[in-house]
Amino acid sequence: MKALVYQTAHKIEDFAIKLIELHEPVLREQDVLIEVRAIGVNPGETFIRRTRSAQAGSYVLLGFEFAGVVVGVGAKVVAFGVGDRVFGTGDASRDGCWAERVAVDHRVVSRIPDQLSFIDAASLPIGSATAWEAIFRENDKPPTGVEHALILGGAGGVGSMATQLLKARTNAFVISSGSRPESRVWCEEMGADLMVDHTGDVAAQLAAAGIPHVDLVFSTTDTAKNLGWIAGLLRPFGHLSFVDASAALDVSPLVSKSISLHTEMVFSRVIHASQPERQGKILETVAALVVDGRIKPITKKRLDGLTVETMKAAHELLETGRTIGKIVIAT
């Protein structure tokens, strides 16, 4: 099969991903083999490309957000059959989906409703699962007392889904951050009740709107840099969830308010075999919300073809830090 791979970590100007022939993925007993029809491309994958090299004589095959058709099943798989349309997140510890086919644990994928295209299905998994786990945690609902929630980075893939999930499943007043006019328009389309500019004084902007504090902050970017004012904005015993780990993160500003800190990494369940089926259920619920018209797919930019050129174009766009919604490649 054809796949896009690289060997040595590199900058975008030295783009070294190549299209090569590889052996078919080997199915484990809980796996489904999926013929990939569409790929969602994520900022985290550009970070890996810049920082992670393959072992000598090997390659890195990225890609952890896909939609496609089941073409094979493992020995213990009964929930899916050949021909099923599915979407999912994959597994960061295995080869990814920048290929004609990908093998993945069937418990972290879900069926695509007939009303949803492969392109739009591929826009949903990473943002949906990340936002759900970061905000709803183990109980599938926000912590008690969350009436005002602030999403930092609301125009990105994760922020877009966080806003939509809060509006679809809670009564919370959702505040989203965006610094550009097009970002603000997008966040409002996602359902944000109020917009703030994260490049300015967020606390002052909220105070002007009659909001002295918030109950939950979900930060998708620059958490370490912003932690001081985030702590000031959160109420005592409030909640901070974040996805961008950093060695520079100093949590001491949170202590005097007894603020709960929640980390999130979307591959935790499948990597650690911790009820991975819950992730498939999340995607199933999200798909149903899309069919009901309560959530919108977040495809903003479509590229066509599993080629070096389309993948480079996607990475160039993502590395501007100014993308909105999701970039999806139709294979």
Q: Look up the CATH number of the domain holding residue 70.
A: 3.90.180.10
- The letter for the amino acid at 239 is H
End position of a domain, from candidates 235, 263, 291: 263
Structure tokens at 281: 């259920």
Domain housing 186: 127-263
For the cut 90, the answer to whether the pLDDT of residue 121 exceeds it is yes
Amino acid identity of residue 306, one-letter, is L
Do 226 and 137 belong together in one domain? yes
- At 283 the pLDDT is 98
Give yes or no for residue 105 having a pLDDT over 90.
yes
CA distances from 34 to 40, 42, 282, 321 (A): 15, 20, 19, 31
Q: Are residues 290 and 211 in the same domain?
A: no
Determine the pLDDT at residue 274.
95
pLDDT recorded at residue 247? 79
Q: Are residues 259 and 142 in the same domain?
A: yes
Q: Are residues 131 and 209 in the same domain?
A: yes
Average pLDDT over residues 233-260: 94
Residues 134 and 86 both lie in one domain? no
Considering only CA atoms, give the Rg of the chain: 20
Q: Are residues 16 and 116 in the same domain?
A: yes
pLDDT in the model for residue 46 = 97
pLDDT bucket at 139, cuts 50 / 70 / 90? confident
Average pLDDT over residues 75-80: 97
Segment (H or E) for 39: strand 31-41
Over range 42-58, report the average pLDDT.
96
Coil/strand/helix, residue 314: helix
What is the spatial distance between Cα 162 and Cα 325, in angstroms, rounded to a whole number?
A: 12
Co-location of 162 and 252 in the same domain = yes
Together in a domain, 112 and 132 = no
Residue 151 pLDDT more than 90?
yes
| 278-305 per-position pLDDT tens digit | 999 999 999 999 999 999 999 999 999 9
Domain end point (choices 213, 245, 263): 263
Tell me how far apart the alpha carbons of residues 31 and 43 are, in angstroms, rounded to a whole number. 26
- Number of domains present in the structure of the chain: 2
Average pLDDT over residues 107-115: 97
Mean pLDDT across the chain: 96
Q: Residue 10: pLDDT above 90?
A: yes
Q: Kindly give, in sequence order, each residue whose CB lies less than 8 Å from that of residue 91, ignoring residues fewer than 6 positions away.
A: 64, 104, 105, 108, 267, 270, 271
Same-domain status, 148 and 239: yes
Residues of 252-287 as b/e, b for ≥16 C-beta within 10 angstroms? eebeeeebeebebebbebbeeeeebebbbebbebbb
Does residue 190 sit in the same domain as residue 279? no
d(CA 91, CA 132): 18
* Degrees, nearest 5: CA angle 89-111-85: 95
Mean pLDDT of 154-160: 96
Q: Once rounded to an integer, what is the mean pLDDT over residues 250-261?
A: 95
Residues 120 and 33 in one domain: yes
Percent of the chain with pLDDT over 70: 100
What is the structure's pLDDT at 246? 81
Q: Which two tokens stand for residue 197?
A: 């500019």
pLDDT band of residue 214 (cuts 50, 70, 90) is very high
Count CB-CB contacts under 10 A for residue 210: 6
pLDDT computed for residue 248 by the predictor: 83
CATH of the domain at 209: 3.40.50.720
Residue 96 shares a structural domain with residue 187: no
Tell which of 263, 293, 308 closes a domain. Answer: 263
Look at residues 91, 76, 71 and name the one whose alpha carbon lies nearest to residue 30: 76
Among 264, 261, 234, residue whose Cα is nearest residue 134:
264
By the 10 Å C-beta count (0-12 exposed, 13-18 middle, 19+ buried), 127 is classed as buried
Q: Pinpoint the alpha helices (H) of the chain.
A: 43-51, 118-122, 125-136, 157-169, 181-190, 202-208, 223-233, 252-255, 268-271, 277-291, 308-318
- Locate 76 and state its tokens: 């213990």
